[in-house]
Chain A
Amino acid sequence: MLRAQRGDARAYEELVRPHQEIAFRVAYVITRNAADAEDAVQDALVKAWRALGRFRAGEPLRPWLLRIAANEARNRRRSAGRRERLTLRAAASPGEAAPSPEEALLATSDRERLLDALEALPDAAREVLACRYLLDLSEDETAGALDVRVGTVKSRSARALEKLREAYGTGA
């Protein structure tokens, strides 16, 4: 970090490389467009580089980068002004105890249905659930990325889960 803060671009690249994937996915959840998410992350990484002097050494880098990337993604979404679907797909059934082809098909179909229900939620609800459960961000990281308080993450998650339950039709 100190090398990066002194202007070592290669040290900075090494620092941020492990976080590029999660930053891209957070940006994708917000922009719902891979090209916009890519631009948002690139802009974010350059802005973070420019602001690195203000970053306090010893603090975790990932939440800070995610916050900047999410902010850039929101700017892109605003300027793009378009509404796109989150085109995520459920992967094929992971190596669970080898279900029958019919069971595997059913499981995949349920996952697709759950993703469809998630996609149909309002932006705020979809984003908080995607950050917390699809991306496995902590409440603090989610709050930073969505620019809200941790308490808001908790309450918004609870309401979003309620809505998702209704839409998905599970009594869980």
Chain B
Amino acid sequence: MELERELRDLDVEWPPTPELRLVLEAPQRRRRSRRPLYAAIALVLVALAAAFAVPQSRGAILRFLHLGGETIHFVDTLPPAEERPLGAGLGPVVPLAQARALVPGLPLPPLEEQPPLHQSGNVISLVFRHEGAPVLLSALSQDGSFLKKLVGGQTNAEWVQIFPDSWGLWLSGQPHVFFFPREPARLAGNTLVWTRGDYTFRLEGPTLSRDAALKLARSLKYPGKG
């Protein structure tokens, strides 16, 4: 028993436990048809949390929330990250059938010629031109890998409704830091993140406005939804 006692007496120096401040959606244990109601409750919870949030000087996570497959951390200090092209590190090109096998809810832009689809982990992405500027559309299943972004105090975050059954966040202002699976962090510009059914979507464009992003998100061709 000596070794067990020595282990117990080790008095290990653990890394400091981070202080977690949660912003929580309403529990999702009811039927899907009631989602808009819970999204509205989530909106209120976020507003309440924002009202009670006290700016802190330390470089820590102030609060975070999950939106489908994306985790959004609100921090007071952004880590270093570099600007890279929208199409960098999206993974190899895959045929549509393979992309849809991975993310059956993958929507496509209303274009005559579809841009190449890229796969990285459980995320399917495509870059295309919209109103003369490049935009990046990514889609993932909510049970797949998580995307992560860090949002500083200079980035505006606004809840928006895309469809009656679909809510999202519009992030604008100062760039935020975005983590794509297996890629170094990069700076990301204006972005719309939204969920619909079991899928999470992300639309990013450096010159994208809120209204243009919403219009584009609504104009995408969603499988089985016409």
Residues of A within 8 A of B (CB): 5, 7, 9, 12-13, 20-21, 24-25, 28, 34, 37-39, 41-43, 45-46, 49-54, 79, 87-91, 94, 111, 114-115, 118, 129, 133-134, 136, 161, 164-165, 168, 170, 172
Q: Beyond A52-B27, A134-B12, is A38–B18 a contact (Cβ under 8 Å)?
A: yes
Closest CB in chain A relative to B30 CB, distance in Å: 8
Which 7 residue pairs are nearest across A and B when measured between Cβ atoms? A172-B2, A133-B7, A53-B29, A34-B15, A91-B11, A21-B17, A89-B13
- B223 interface contact, C-beta 8 A: no
A114 touches B11 (CB 8 A): no
B3 touches A165 (CB 8 A): yes
The one of B11, B41, B61 that contacts A7, using a Cβ cutoff of 8 Å:
B41
B20 touches A20 (CB 8 A): yes
Residues of B within 8 A of A (CB): 1-4, 6-8, 10-15, 17-18, 20, 22-29, 41, 45, 49, 61, 64-66, 71, 73, 121, 145-146, 148, 181
Secondary structure at the A interface, as helix, strand, loop or mixed, is helix
A12 to B22, CA, bound (A): 10
Q: Beyond A49-B22, A168-B3, is A20–B17 a contact (Cβ under 8 Å)?
A: yes
The one of A9, A136, A161 that contacts B22, using a Cβ cutoff of 8 Å:
A9
A79 to B183, CA, bound (A): 12
A164 to B11, CA, bound (A): 18
Q: Beyond A39-B148, A118-B7, is A25–B14 a contact (Cβ under 8 Å)?
A: yes
A90 touches B13 (CB 8 A): yes
Residues of B with C-beta under 8 A to A28? 14-15
Counted as pairs of residues, one from A and one from B, with CB atoms less than 8 Å apart, the total is 110
A88 touches B13 (CB 8 A): yes
Q: Beyond A53-B27, A79-B145, A136-B8, is A46–B13 a contact (Cβ under 8 Å)?
A: no
Q: From B11, which residue of chain A is reached at the shortest CB distance?
A: A91
Closest CB in chain A relative to B68 CB, distance in Å: 12
Q: From A5, which residue of chain B is reached at the shortest CB distance?
A: B27
Residues of A with C-beta under 8 A to B12? 88-91, 115, 134
A50 touches B29 (CB 8 A): yes
Can you give 18 contacting A-B residue pairs, CB < 8 Å?
Answer: A5-B27, A7-B41, A9-B45, A9-B49, A12-B22, A42-B20, A42-B22, A53-B29, A79-B121, A79-B145, A87-B15, A88-B13, A89-B13, A90-B12, A90-B13, A94-B11, A133-B8, A161-B3
Which residue of B7, B49, B73, B148 has the most chain A CB atoms within 10 A of its CB atom? B7
Q: Beyond A9-B45, A114-B6, A161-B3, is A51–B29 a contact (Cβ under 8 Å)?
A: yes
Closest CB in chain A relative to B64 CB, distance in Å: 6
B4 touches A161 (CB 8 A): yes
A38 to B29, CA, bound (A): 25
Residues of A with C-beta under 8 A to B28? 50
A37 to B20, CA, bound (A): 12
Q: Beyond A28-B14, A38-B18, is A12–B24 a contact (Cβ under 8 Å)?
A: yes
What would 8 more interface pairs be, CB under 8 Å, given A28-B15, A42-B22? Answer: A49-B22, A50-B27, A51-B27, A51-B29, A88-B12, A91-B11, A91-B13, A161-B3
Q: From A118, which residue of chain B is reached at the shortest CB distance?
A: B7
